Amino acid sequence: MRISQLFFTTLREDPADAEMPSHRLLLRAGYIRPLGAGIYSLLPLGMRVNMRVTQVIREEMNAIGGQEMLMPVVHPADLWRETGRYDQIGPEMGRFKDRGGREMVLAMTHEEVVTDLLRKLISSWRQLPQQVYHFQTKWRDEPRARGGLIRVREFTMKDAYSADRDEAGLERSYNLYYHAYTRIFARLGLRALAVASDVGMMGGSLAHEFMAPSPHGEDTLVICDACGAAANRQVAIVQRPTPAAEAAQPIEEVATPNAPTIEALAAQLGVGRERTAKAVFFADRDARLIVAIVRGDDDVEETKLTNALGARDLRPAREEEIRAAGMEPGYASPIGAKGATVVVDTLVAASPNLVAGANKHGYHLKNVNIPRDFTPDHIVDIASARAGDPCLACGKPLRLENGIEVGNIFKLGTRYTAALGAVYADEDGATHPIIMGSYGIGVGRAVACVAEAHHDEKGLAWPSEVAPFDAQVALLSAAKDSRVDAQADLLERAAAAAGLELLIDDRSETPGVKFADAELLGAPWTITISPRSLDAGGAELTYRATGERTVVAIEELPAKIAAAKRAARDEIERALTDRGFPAHLAGEPQRP
């Protein structure tokens, strides 16, 4: 491919709205262009990387018995009503009516559609298990698109679905996908950690997210380096301290002027924050007021709260909503309040004689005890894990790290098959719901995560498995030295014969511009052909990741690059095998 014919342009300045390195560099290098908020075009370079990532995923899906198919992007709303999700999901779902007035849905995911196919196609235990997958466009009207391809509204996802006859079969399928995902991300050059996660709108009994550590990630991972336990902070459970036993003291109102925060309150009364009860207020989509109570040294983990209540779309409550329930913002507690749902963290319920709000401006109550002074609707763990908290499994200190979700796997069980009547008959003719799993990877997000992991201050540095071209060739022709073009043609033919793809910079730009663009675009190798290199015996070969340079004879270049690609792939395979994730499965893979 000649760069003079390539449909792209580079940007010399960083885009003003690009926060993350992947967003900035994919825009600058001409891989993507925005059409609207969270809606992007993949230009030819971006499409090439996208296709390389897709092929890696496809190979690993096929390796575990996956069958590729394609399901529609537009669904009848009635199908989603059968599972209840049409009314459960908020404005992020795209809804419209067709010309006949029928209500339709833009696909967010495909559980309903694949389950509808199962109920039509599967009737006997002899037809199970099944593994199917597809690559399809999804639409989710995210409230805040950000990070380029990291969080978008329209995207391509590989979603796969397993169908089994029992829980043992689902466990085997789940392990197969865990195995395949580990291999996929290693081949893409990503350090992806599998962490326990929330099942969210998908439902089911168990989920793991594969997280690429990144300082720009929106998710917080809770990791134990001692035993390997890891979870998304949204669901992480840690060892909690056991409060010292104390006799309940009489409740006492005390003046606390100018102390609307826990920090100010603790300082004014001379107590630790762990001796206070913090009230945090939310409202759900039905405007129900929710009061979450944690100790003053803790924070509310909203996902835990959401799961405890079975609620969705929580938002911060407004001051007038808080006052309408008889509570005073900044000095609030559930004592004497009416019309609110009260959720108390387990540690608060076990802590005696706490300081809580008096629901009167400038006053708090000392020696508040549960259930003597108020009765919660729920007592459950709703506190966020903190760095240094003891690991639930081994007791060692935990650490926090930001990450970006690049894939997820769910044990759905009968969540969808029971609702849609997807059943099979066993050997005795008795019918049972099919047991399902769901497994997703956002392709564009995976591309962005690879860019996040493989770049420097000069630009992108793609791993050979996903690079749009195997090498970028800079032609430097002093006074149009005919040898340069002739050797470039020779190299192009030899590379094609070796199965390599080259991007040849044949523009009439200065060497500085060509070298800068080669570093920005990020092909694994840069080949420089110039009169000087030819006089030295060939072309200058530069490895993008390290900057290492050597002069190689033109006719030897394809073999050298091909050998380097094989060596990189072999190294990945050796590392995967050492970790227990070989290319060819022997028996049933188990999660580490």
| CATH number, position 518 | 3.40.50.800
Q: Is residue 244 part of a domain?
A: no
Residue that is written with structure tokens 């709703």 in the block: 382
User: Domain of 83: which CATH number?
Assistant: 3.30.930.10
Rounded Cα distance between 25 and 4, Å, is 21
For 292, the token pair is: 């979450």
Q: What is the pLDDT of residue 584?
A: 79
In this structure, the answer to whether residues 417 and 547 fall within a common structural domain is no
Contact 44, 6 (CB under 8 A): yes
Longest dimension (CA), the chain: 97
In this structure, the answer to whether residues 82 and 180 fall within a common structural domain is yes
In this structure, the answer to whether residues 74 and 98 fall within a common structural domain is yes
Domain count, the chain: 3
In this structure, the answer to whether residues 194 and 110 fall within a common structural domain is yes
Rounded Cα distance between 369 and 279, Å, is 15
Q: Is residue 48 part of a domain?
A: no
Q: Is residue 391 part of a domain?
A: no
Contact 290, 305 (CB under 8 A): yes
In this structure, the answer to whether residues 125 and 182 fall within a common structural domain is yes
Q: Is residue 325 part of a domain?
A: yes
SS3 343: strand
In this structure, the answer to whether residues 93 and 153 fall within a common structural domain is yes
The residue among 348, 337, 357, 336 whose CA lies nearest residue 260 is 357
Contacts for 42 with CB less than 8 Å, ≥ 6 apart: 31, 32, 50, 444
pLDDT digits (tens, 9 = 90+) for 151-195: 999 999 999 999 999 999 999 999 999 999 999 999 999 999 999
Rounded Cα distance between 179 and 590, Å, is 8
Rounded Cα distance between 462 and 466, Å, is 7
Rounded Cα distance between 489 and 477, Å, is 14
User: Domain of 261: which CATH number?
Assistant: 3.90.960.10
For residue 238, how many C-alpha atoms fall within 13 Å in the half-sphere facing its CB? Answer: 30
pLDDT along the chain (592 residues), means of 10: 95 88 96 96 98 98 96 98 94 96 97 98 97 97 91 97 96 95 97 82 72 93 93 92 93 96 96 96 92 96 92 89 95 94 96 96 97 96 96 95 95 96 97 97 97 96 97 86 90 95 94 96 97 94 95 96 96 95 76 60
Contacts for 165 with CB less than 8 Å, ≥ 6 apart: 125, 128, 129, 424, 426, 432, 434, 435
Using only C-alpha atoms, what is the Rg of the chain?
A: 29
Residue that is written with structure tokens 């039905």 in the block: 286
Q: Is residue 10 part of a domain?
A: no
In this structure, the answer to whether residues 86 and 204 fall within a common structural domain is yes
In this structure, the answer to whether residues 194 and 143 fall within a common structural domain is yes
Q: What is the pLDDT of residue 14?
A: 87
User: Which range of residues forms the domain containing residue 290?
Assistant: 252-379
In this structure, the answer to whether residues 407 and 490 fall within a common structural domain is no
In this structure, the answer to whether residues 497 and 419 fall within a common structural domain is no
pLDDT digits (tens, 9 = 90+) for 536-575: 999 999 999 999 999 999 999 999 999 999 999 999 999 9
Q: Is residue 581 part of a domain?
A: no
Report whether the peptide linkage leading into residue 34 is cis, meaning its omega lies within 30 degrees of zero: no
Q: Is residue 139 part of a domain?
A: yes
The structure's pTM equals 0.91
Q: What is the pLDDT of residue 204?
A: 60
In this structure, the answer to whether residues 133 and 183 fall within a common structural domain is yes
Q: For the stretch 168-192, what's the b/e string if a residue is b when 16 or more beta carbons lie within 10 angstroms of its beta carbon?
A: ebbbbbbbbbbbbbbbbbbbbbbeb
Rounded Cα distance between 569 and 524, Å, is 14
For 308, the token pair is: 């405890």
Q: What is the pLDDT of residue 286?
A: 85
In this structure, the answer to whether residues 415 and 269 fall within a common structural domain is no
Q: Is residue 591 part of a domain?
A: no
Report whether the peptide linkage leading into residue 129 is cis, meaning its omega lies within 30 degrees of zero: yes
